[in-house]
Chain A
Amino acid sequence: MSMRVSRLTLLAFAALLLPMARTAAAQAASRLPGELVWTIGYDPKTFDPAKVDDQESETVRYLTAGVLLRFNRLTQQVEPELAQNWTVSPDGRTLRFTLRPGLEFSDGSSLSARDVVWSLRRVLLPATQAPVADEFLTPARVSVEAVNDRTVVVHLPQRVIGIGKVFDEIAIEPAGRPSEGRVTSGPFFVNDYLRSQYVRLRRNPHFFRKDATGRALPYASGIRLDILENTEQEIRLFLRGDYDLIDSLPPDYFALLAKRSPGSARDLGPSLNTEQMWFNQSPASPLPGWEKAWFRSHAFRVAVSQAIHRDDLARIAYDGHATPAYSFTSPANTVWYDRALTAPHTDVAAAQAALAAAGFRRQGSVLLGPDGHPVRFSILTNTGNAARSKMATLIQQDLAALGMQVTVVTLDFPALIDRLMNTQNYEACLLGLENVDPDPNAMMNLWLSSSPNHQWDPSEKTPATPWEAEIDRLMHLQASTGSDAIRRKAVNRVQQIVANEQPFIYLVYPNLLVAASPRLEGVRPAVLEPHLTWNADSLQLRGAQ
């Protein structure tokens, strides 16, 4: 046998095997006609709409659940959905819902007040352990009754602010037949689920809603939610046309996507979310006494805030896709944003003067505390968030101008949460807060001094300072009054106290970055989640029937 023939044979053999390498990773299933496809980050924990307690289960619930009232993500108003209309008594304790006529579940069975009563009672039952039940404040004392086939009355023991939005989270299911999303009264129902690969939703042919021309909604024949955590893969598959949208795009990928697919990436301006840092003021923390004293010092916190160049954070860490922040309410929150708020802005000279007045002094390039200890501390943040790491590094440089020696420490999320919530063994932390509800009532657990999520000093037995006591009082006031004017005044005052005291040093509002395929019709991005898919029933691919 000649060596030439041998080599050709071997090369041909290898070439025949090469197609084995062509595995389309992450492409779990082929697209069905008229189907929309995007990703979720992990497997939903449950498809039972009453037991949703994680983000991805919430996504499936939003797309499948029929609800009495829908909180319109675009207008930020509560609108009737399965209910044709609803009324609230003047004392806010009695709610009356009238259902639309002829409602049906996805299996064709009729939907009546009996199903509504059963669904609401199931959510309120302690045995169900529905997280949404807590929003009724005292769920055990809530009563629900059907007046007739189309009318349901809910009696509350006390007024609940924003009660309409609570019904946006309660799916109406067939009485006595909970189906984990298989039989729904929403636009889609769960058809197929392959763990770690995809959740496939199909169009509900009995959904009540029609468009202006009388065409039945939803337009799409279904939705496939691929389970994919890898952003690079998601972008690659989006560019290839496998995915129709990206609901939240990290800033470091925005330019890449804008370059490769002009017109698909969109910057919608400031989101509701905030990025902030705070110092550990907990008396229970294992920090030395002098550090606790610095962190409790008002002058220290304000000086740090004044030393930070927020414009640089937005420009460098977010490639310009962020807005400097001074309050917990973003300008995107058109209802609650306080334009009259005054907050310490960047002023390094003022920061140095404030520190000097509080007893801090410079020794060469090092700042010494009133007790003579050099001011050194570390900022914790989580791994896997490039923008956050960049911000921490920029803050490190900014604080060096004051003589503070800062170390940046990144930890994985469980380890970070352990430090924040359990051991409280940290000095400063840089994290973000995702606001899914523009109403300040949703931030109660952050501002009440007794809350475990009162991050700078969790679970205070009594408010540690007079201004924390005032925040407690104002937050309780806004949560109990029926007067919009009183609520607004109370919330504005809380914003001002936070700006004055700087328990959280707000840094930026990250801009809302999304991507939608040019083939996708009906896209109307909203600042609230889900940003692109809140009107999923009106989305369709161009040319799809």
Chain B
Amino acid sequence: MKERAAAAARWLARTAAVILLVLVGTTALVRFAPGYFSDAREMDARYAAIARAELSAEAAGSRTLGQILGAEIGELLRGSSGVSRQFDVPVWELVEPRLAVSGALLLRGIALAWALAVCASLLSSAGRNPSLLWHVPAAILLAVPAAALATLCLLLNSGGPVLVMALLLAARDFKFLHRALRTAWLDPHILHARAQGIRTRDLLRAHLLPALAPQLSALASLSIVTALSALVPIEVIFNVPGLGELAWNAAINRDLPVLLAVTMIMAVAVTCAGMGSHRSATWRDA
């Protein structure tokens, strides 16, 4: 019990440290980025005066990095996410509807990627010779950046964000799954079992999957991290109203409160994925 509590405390401390780093890094990058105290409306005759008045008020209240961080952390501790500079609405109002959109995209992308990767790996590793049919497309997809693949889909007028996300992840997952399955498939006890006529599905359930569980768990965490990193270009290019697009617009418009919220969500998601992987490995070892 004590060990579990200690482990949970360690994880919490690690997560808090990551979030603090994210807060400091994001605040420093955005607050001191060129153009923080500027507004495109300054160039528009109709809105220049009001834009300048707003900027002056904000600049008058400008503080040091430490003060800004203190204020942001204070807001978080009070359960508030702050107010968007760009839209002048509470950040949570912007983030909440987008969580579901990005979450759905991630879940569908990861599910499809795993389905494709598992099918391809089983077909490829179970055959006598690894087939170029599977490896060549995987190698190509590994070399293509997410933005390039998304743009290609757009230009060809086919596919969508889920497909792009799935293909990118499937290529990475396939690379590891194929290697793991190939090795496991050729283990002497599996070969013996196969020679005795044990059905493939029983082999998978009773031998292969339990043996591969820690690796699959680690791969699942990696999938989540990879998917999160691909979220911004995919959502921006396909105009998906999710967190990635919000982060992009916030960066373009120097919207610090929104960027902080999004990067913190991403940081928590990554640490949770890491914890999930760690827990499954721990359970198996136990």
Contact = CB atoms under 8 A, between A and B. Distances in A.
Interface of A: 1, 3, 6-7, 10-11, 13-14, 17-18, 20-26, 28, 42-43, 45, 53-55, 58, 129, 131, 134, 194-197, 227-230, 232-233, 236, 411-422, 431, 434, 436, 442-446, 452-453
Contact of B93 (A134, A195, A418, A421): A195
A516 B74 CA distance: 51
A18 B162 CA distance: 10
A260 to B, nearest CB: 10
Contacts, number: 158
27 contacts: A1-B201, A6-B122, A11-B123, A13-B119, A20-B111, A21-B108, A25-B239, A28-B241, A45-B87, A45-B88, A53-B46, A232-B237, A233-B239, A414-B34, A414-B40, A414-B254, A415-B35, A416-B35, A418-B38, A419-B34, A422-B37, A436-B46, A443-B45, A445-B48, A452-B52, A453-B42, A453-B48
Contacts of B199: 1
B43 A453 contact: yes
A196 B35 contact: no
Interface in B27-75: 33-52
B115 interface: yes
A195 B160 CA distance: 21
A25 B252 contact: no
Interface in B210-235: none
A417 B40 contact: yes
Interface in B138-190: 151, 154-155, 157, 159-163, 166
Q: Which of A23, A129, A194 has the most CB of B within 10 A?
A: A23
Contacts of A230: 236-239
A258 to B, nearest CB: 17
Given A413-B40, A445-B45, A228 B239 contact: yes
Q: Which of A11, A129, A196, A420 has the most CB of B within 10 A?
A: A196
A12 to B, nearest CB: 9
Contacts of A444: 45
Given A417-B38, A422-B37, A21 B163 contact: yes
A1 B200 contact: yes
Contacts of B43: 417, 420, 431, 453
A26 B239 CA distance: 5
B116 interface: yes
B48 to A, nearest CB: 6
A233 B238 contact: yes
Given A24-B160, A414-B40, A452 B108 contact: no
A235 to B, nearest CB: 10
B94 interface: yes
A431 B237 CA distance: 25
Nearest to B251: A412
A25 to B, nearest CB: 4
A330 B110 CA distance: 54
Given A232-B237, A414-B40, A417-B43, 11 more contacts: A10-B123, A17-B116, A54-B41, A134-B49, A230-B238, A232-B154, A233-B239, A418-B34, A418-B37, A452-B48, A453-B48
A103 B151 CA distance: 51
A523 to B, nearest CB: 25
Contact of B50 (A10, A14, A131): A131
A134 B51 CA distance: 14
A129 B240 CA distance: 34
B112 interface: yes
A131 B47 CA distance: 7
Q: Which of A416, A422, A434, A445 has the most CB of B within 10 A?
A: A422
Interface in B192-212: 199-201
Contacts of A43: 87
Interface in B238-286: 238-241, 245-246, 249, 252-254
A411 B41 CA distance: 17
Interface in B84-136: 87-88, 93-94, 97-98, 105, 108, 111-112, 115-116, 119, 122-123, 126-127
A302 B153 CA distance: 48
A444 to B, nearest CB: 8
Given A53-B51, A131-B49, A233 B40 contact: no
Contact of A25 (B42, B46, B126, B240): B240
A14 B246 CA distance: 32
